[in-house]
């Protein structure tokens, strides 16, 4: 049984133990899993020339830890309750026994289509149980899954497929988002025009819309599964074999494939799930994230299922068919733990408490928040109106790269403070540094958040390019993993995340790099150059403000029409999440003599704070600042 902290003293004791001797600590935790062969060594690592290996020599399959290990007890327990977009349609429940059969069956489909251990399978599916089945089937046969959020565009999908040289694409005819039906297969078809590595595409029939099926390449999901057996023996994996890659944005270049391995990821995600959410057997756990993001990987699929939990998976959106949809689902399925994002809370807060009061939310025990800083007002609303003052909020800080939750209260145990992620979990050794990398010790300090010791589910590499991983995370401060976040440690030693300090914008909890958005804007034929920054947004947390220099050829066009078409271009290159909230057409950008854009100035203008621009004497042309300030007033 996984250890479970049950008091504040217990947390402090476990934390101390995990710092004093991390190897012994994780050795004990890892023993509660089923390993075909035990590890020889808990940890090997070096942060200077980055590598970290956990449970070295251990052999296992993560799906055996979900199914075979527990099936005797769990065969008839619901594993997934899938709630459709349209509430008049029935929900579907899959027990652990049924899910196991479907995973084995789809594992056999992958094998029958030539997938071998180490091959990459791209998954571009809506929020349906088949998405979880597909991920687990990959893990079963040792294939590396690369899930691409179904809201991404064709070109984002093909970039990700090509970067990892995926062999198979799993997709669906279409999906629903509230009142909209989206033709997913069409987007996938467009992507596959430039993906030579893809040999087969397996297509789930979901919306039953008419689709083009390419002879020799496309196979219907239902045909594929009807041709195979439902028994499958799991592939034996090394603890350090990759489990999945998931693309995420950083401050430079194209998104990179964060690679997680099998053993450490399993141990850490399950441990954090059980402890942070104080998991109990009869909990109904609902994480509202999409499987396309890391939260969906770790806390919809892997960790809860490793713990034998019942999860809710929801295809729709919080405001369809009405703004009480979340609360209706909680009441209907008697959800005990709700794990959602501040942006969702803020958007629902705007409708007041009446939609909440329509429902009985007394099943709720614990509330969670993830993805971006939660502002105090949203925290209070969540606590008072959703939790009715009875449910602790766990504000969980972590990243795609960390694999699992790193800083968070232990529900009901760690005293909380609105907007604070509070304290590090066992095994997490934080360090705050100033811009020179000097450690800021003691309390009441503010700086850049680093981690100085490995934890089991940490990023191992970036797919196909280890140098990039070292550069992105281990080169800013010597010997430390740099998170990219700013943080404050207050007088009580509590941590409050202040947001990104690099060129990453966090929109509704989704990361986008400024360079990536600028490249998309620059793909517009009338754009010469652009610079984007984030600015505060009531619902989304941050939104994108773009400064754009147009080509001379644009002179005779209506600027408003050009702006609209720039947004069309951006959503084609990246997807709708990258929508530019404000576009300002400028004649120049504030650049230093070495050609670097001074984003600090652009951020100030975007925030509407132009009182003190600081030193602009190093700019090539300081006059552009006045023009930008004036132009911003007209937006
Ligand atoms: C931000 C999501 C404040 C942070 C799990 C981080 C947060 C980035 C929180 C990672 C939180 C995540 N409070 N900020 N509780 N959780 N973040 O990779 O800036 O999509 O670096 O992982 O989200 O986003 P990612």
Render pLDDT for 334-382 as a digit per residue (tens, 0 to 9).
999 999 999 999 999 999 999 999 999 999 999 999 999 999 999 999 9
Instruction: Check residue 618 and give its pLDDT.
Output: 85
pLDDT tens, residue by residue, 465-478: 999 999 999 999 99
- Ligand 1 atom 8: residue of nearest CA: 399
- Which of 149, 368, 371, 420 for mutating ligand 1's site (highest number of atoms within 8 Å of CB)? 371
pLDDT band for position 5 (cuts 50, 70, 90): very high
Mutate to test the pocket of ligand 1, among 462, 506, 542 (most ligand atoms within 8 A of CB): 506
- Protein residue with its CA nearest to atom 13 in ligand 1: 373
Q: Ligand 1: which residue has its CA nearest to atom 25?
A: 399
User: Is the pLDDT confidence value at 252 over 80?
Assistant: no
Predicted confidence (pLDDT) per residue in 550-573, tens digit:
999 998 899 999 999 999 999 999
Report CA(397)–ligand 1 centroid distance (Å).
6
User: From ligand 1's centre to the CA of 509, what distance in Å?
Assistant: 7
User: What's the chain's average pLDDT?
Assistant: 97
Residue 405 has pLDDT above 80, yes or no: yes
616 confidence band (pLDDT: 50, 70, 90) = confident
DSSP 441-470: -SSSEEEEEEE-S--TT---EETT-HHHHH
Beta strands 78-83 and 92-95, pairing class: antiparallel
Q: How confident is the model at residue 143 (pLDDT cuts 50, 70, 90)?
A: very high
Residue with tokens 């179904």: 150
289 alpha carbon to ligand 1 midpoint, in Å? 13
Q: How close is the Cα of 511 to the center of ligand 1, in Å?
A: 8
pLDDT at 511: 94
Centre of ligand 1 to C-alpha 594, Å, is 32
Structure tokens at 593: 């003599």
Tell whether the model's pLDDT for residue 615 goes beyond 90: no
Q: Tell me if 535 sits within 8 A of 543, measured CB to CB.
A: yes
Judged against a pLDDT cut of 90, whether residue 251 lies above it is answered with no
For β-strands 284-287 and 310-314, DSSP reports them as: parallel
- Identify whether the C-beta of residue 398 lies closer than 8 Å to the C-beta of residue 404: yes
Contact 534, 603 (CB under 8 A): yes
In this structure, whether the domain defined by 504-632 belongs to CATH 1.20.1090.10 is answered with no
Using the predicted structure, report yes or no on whether residue 253 has a pLDDT greater than 90.
no
How much is the pLDDT for 454? 98
Please name which of 49, 123, 162 lies closest in space to residue 463, comparing C-alpha atoms.
162
Gap from CA of 320 to ligand 1 centroid (Å)? 26
Nearest CA to ligand 1 atom 10: 399
pLDDT band for position 595 (50/70/90)? confident
Q: Give pLDDT, residue 412.
A: 98
* Average pLDDT of the segment spanning 127-140: 99
Q: How far is 438 from 130, CA to CA, in rounded Å?
A: 48
**Which of the listed residues 250, 258, 289, 398 should we mutate to test ligand 1's pocket, taking the one with most ligand atoms within 8 A of CB?**
398
The alpha carbon of 444 and the centre of ligand 1 are apart by a number of angstroms equal to 22
Distance CA 608, CA 606 (A): 5
DSSP 297: I
Q: Give residues (CB < 6 A) around ligand 1.
A: 248, 293-295, 369-373, 395-400, 421, 483-485, 497, 499-500, 506, 511
What pLDDT does residue 594 have?
Answer: 82
Cis amide linkage into residue 401, ω under 30° from 0:
no
CA of 291 to the centre of ligand 1 (A): 16
**pLDDT tens per residue, range 113-131:** 999 999 999 999 999 999 9
CA distance 500 to 478: 20
* 234 neighbors 140 (Cβ within 8 angstroms): yes
In which band, very low, low, confident or very high, does the pLDDT at 617 lie, cut at 50, 70 and 90?
confident
What sections of 438-532 are H helices per DSSP? Answer: 466-474, 514-522
Rounded to the nearest angstrom, the distance between the alpha carbon of 66 and the centre of ligand 1 is 27
- Atom index in ligand 1 nearest the CA of residue 407 equals 15
214-239 per-position pLDDT tens digit: 999 999 999 999 999 999 999 999 99
Question: Which whole-number Å values give the CA distances from 602 to 227, 486, 514, 520, 610, in the listed order?
Answer: 58, 19, 12, 19, 10
Which one-letter DSSP state was computed for residue 616? -
Q: Quick check: helix, strand or coil at residue 222?
A: helix
Å from CA of 483 to ligand 1 middle: 10
Length of the chain: 635
3-state secondary structure 552-584: HHHCCCCHHHHHHHHHHHHHHHCEHHHCEEEEE
Give the H or E element holding residue 202: strand 200-204
Examine the pLDDT at 524 and tell me if it is beyond 90. Answer: yes
pLDDT above 90 (res 250): no
Closest ligand 1 atom, residue 504 Cα: 19
- Is the predicted pLDDT of residue 53 greater than 90, yes or no? yes
Contact 23, 42 (CB under 8 A): yes
Residues 426, 351: Cα–Cα separation, whole Å: 39
- Contact by Cβ (8 Å): 533, 603: yes
Kindly state the tokens that stand for 68: 């075979």
Q: Which atom of ligand 1 is nearest to the CA of 400?
A: 18
Closest CA to 429 of 2, 4, 26: 26
Cα(25)–Cα(426) distance, integer angstroms: 9
């Amino acid at each position: 049984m996984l250890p479970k902290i049950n008091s504040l003293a217990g947390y402090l004791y476990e934390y101390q133990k995990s710092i004093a001797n991390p190897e012994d600590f994780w050795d004990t935790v890892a023993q509660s899993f089923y390993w075909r062969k035990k590890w020889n060594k808990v940890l090997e690592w070096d942060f200077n020339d980055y590598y970290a290996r956990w449970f070295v020599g251990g052999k296992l399959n993560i799906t055996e830890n979900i199914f075979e290990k527990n099936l005797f007890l769990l065969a008839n327990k619901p594993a997934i309750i899938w709630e459709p977009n349209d509430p008049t349609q029935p929900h579907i429940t899959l027990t652990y026994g049924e899910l196991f059969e479907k995973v084995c069956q789809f594992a056999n489909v992958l094998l029958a289509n030539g997938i071998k251990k180490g091959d990459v399978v791209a998954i571009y599916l809506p929020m349906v149980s088949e998405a979880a089945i597909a991920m687990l089937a990959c893990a079963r046969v040792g294939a590396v899954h690369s899930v691409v959020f179904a809201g991404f565009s064709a070109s984002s999908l093909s970039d990700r497929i090509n970067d990892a040289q995926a062999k198979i694409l799993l997709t669906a005819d279409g999906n629903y988002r509230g009142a909209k039906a989206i033709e997913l297969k069409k987007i996938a078809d467009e992507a596959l025009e430039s993906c030579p590595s893809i040999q087969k595409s397996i297509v789930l029939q979901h919306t039953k819309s008419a689709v083009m099926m390419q002879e020799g390449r496309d196979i219907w999901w239902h045909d594929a599964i009807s041709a195979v057996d439902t028994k499958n023996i799991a592939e034996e994996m090394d603890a350090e074999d990759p489990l999945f890659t998931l693309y995420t944005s950083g401050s430079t270049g194209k998104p990179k494939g964060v690679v997680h391995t099998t053993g450490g990821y399993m141990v850490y995600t399950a441990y954090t799930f059980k402890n942070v959410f104080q998991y109990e057997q009869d909990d109904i756990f609902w994480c509202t994230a999409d499987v396309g993001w890391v939260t969906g990987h770790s806390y919809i699929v892997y960790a809860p299922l490793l713990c034998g939990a019942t999860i809710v998976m929801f295809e729709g959106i919080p405001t369809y068919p009405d703004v009480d949809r979340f609360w209706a689902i909680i009441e209907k399925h008697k959800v005990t733990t709700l794990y959602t994002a501040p942006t969702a809370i803020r958007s629902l807060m705007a409708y007041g408490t009446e939609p909440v009061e329509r429902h009985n939310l007394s099943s709720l025990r614990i509330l969670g928040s993830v993805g971006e800083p939660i502002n105090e007002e949203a925290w209070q609303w969540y606590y008072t109106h959703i939790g009715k003052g009875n449910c602790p909020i766990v504000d969980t800080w972590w990243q795609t790269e960390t694999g699992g939750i790193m800083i968070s209260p232990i529900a009901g145990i760690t005293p909380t403070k609105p907007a604070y992620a509070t304290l590090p979990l066992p095994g997490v050794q934080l360090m705050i540094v100033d811009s020179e990398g000097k450690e800021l010790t003691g309390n009441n300090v503010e700086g850049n958040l680093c981690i100085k010791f490995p934890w089991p589910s940490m990023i191992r590499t970036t797919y196909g390019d280890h140098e990039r991983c070292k550069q992105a995370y281990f080169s800013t401060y010597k010997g430390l993993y740099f998170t990219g976040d700013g943080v404050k440690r207050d007088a009580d030693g509590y941590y409050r995340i202040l947001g990104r300090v690099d060129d990453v914008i966090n929109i509704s909890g989704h990361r986008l790099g400024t360079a990536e958005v600028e490249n998309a804007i620059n793909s517009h034929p009338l754009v010469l150059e652009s610079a984007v920054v984030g600015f505060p947004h009531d619902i989304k947390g941050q939104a994108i403000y773009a400064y754009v220099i147009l080509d001379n050829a644009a002179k005779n066009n209506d600027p408003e029409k050009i702006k609209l078409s720039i947004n069309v271009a951006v959503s084609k290159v990246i997807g709708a999440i990258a929508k530019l909230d404000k576009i300002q057409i400028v004649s120049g950008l504030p650049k230093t003599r070495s050609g670097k854009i001074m984003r600090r100035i652009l951020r100030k203008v975007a925030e509407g704070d132009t009182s003190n621009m600081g030193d602009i004497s190093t700019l090539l042309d300081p006059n552009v600042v006045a023009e930008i300030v004036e132009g911003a007033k007209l937006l």
